Amino acid sequence: MSGKSLLKGSDATTQGPCRGDIGRRVAARREQLGLTREDVAVRAGSAPGYIQYLEEQTATPGIGFLLRLADALETTVAELTGGTADLPPGSGRAAHHPERVELGLDECRLLLGTHGVGHVAVTTGEGPAILPVDYLIADGEVAFRTTPDARPATAGGNELAFEVDHIDDALHGGWSVQVVGEPHQVTDPETVRRLDEQAYSTPWSGDDSCLWTALTPSHVSGRRITTRYTHHPKP
């Protein structure tokens, strides 16, 4: 594996924030409505301190409180709890004031370490193709698994692109990170063994004959869509 890389330093497991998904959605919806925590607490019959705790920590409120909270935020329990998460990403409406932000290399590294499945775009004799692969970051390279006859595994010597992304319809935002570079098959038995041990799970395809391919990055870029909520004075 490569000794120097744009992704060096991203091998360690990344710890996310303590705030849970419900808290993020509550905070986003509250800001969208221009409400303070005190406003939401009054509407939901709760203490402001609990609203703060719910937004900033991982909490599991009961269904009774969730119903009151959803009503206070003029939304549904399904939206607050991610019950619509099984819908195709991006099926919701875009925010009124979206902003596109280019990500720095450090944040790209961080986000690459949070996923286990990405997409590889490759050009072959049969034309372009985009395929899902399970991956990890090791020794500053993107290492992914495919079956021996898969097109990414036979693309050695040709530059390809690897991408991961995340869309959150409830928060009207998302991000994507792209790595471009030249792939090479991992054949050293010790390196293969180490990658197998570091992998979060067995291959998603269920094929034990999967091979590791490592992508040495020549270019890393990322972008994030965020929302700037406009607050209006309450009448």
- CATH number of residue 192's parent domain: 2.30.110.10
Domain count, the chain: 2
Of 35-44, 144-153, 171-180, which range is least confident? 144-153
pLDDT of 104-134, one tens digit each?
999 898 888 866 889 998 777 777 888 888 8
Is 79 a member of any domain? yes
Domain with 69 in it? 21-86
pLDDT at 32 over 90: no
CA–CA dist 147, 207 (Å, integer): 7
Residues 212 and 121 in one domain: yes
Mean predicted confidence (pLDDT) in 186-193: 90
- Which two tokens mark 230? 């406009």
Question: Distance (Å, rounded) from C-alpha 122 to C-alpha 90?
Answer: 24
Residues 193, 159 share a domain:
yes
pTM: 0.60
pLDDT digit string, tens, across residues 128-156: 888 888 899 988 899 998 877 766 655 55
Residues 108 and 223 in one domain: yes
> How confident is the model at residue 122, as a pLDDT?
79
Note whether 164 and 177 are within 8 A (CB): yes
Q: Is residue 116 part of a domain?
A: yes
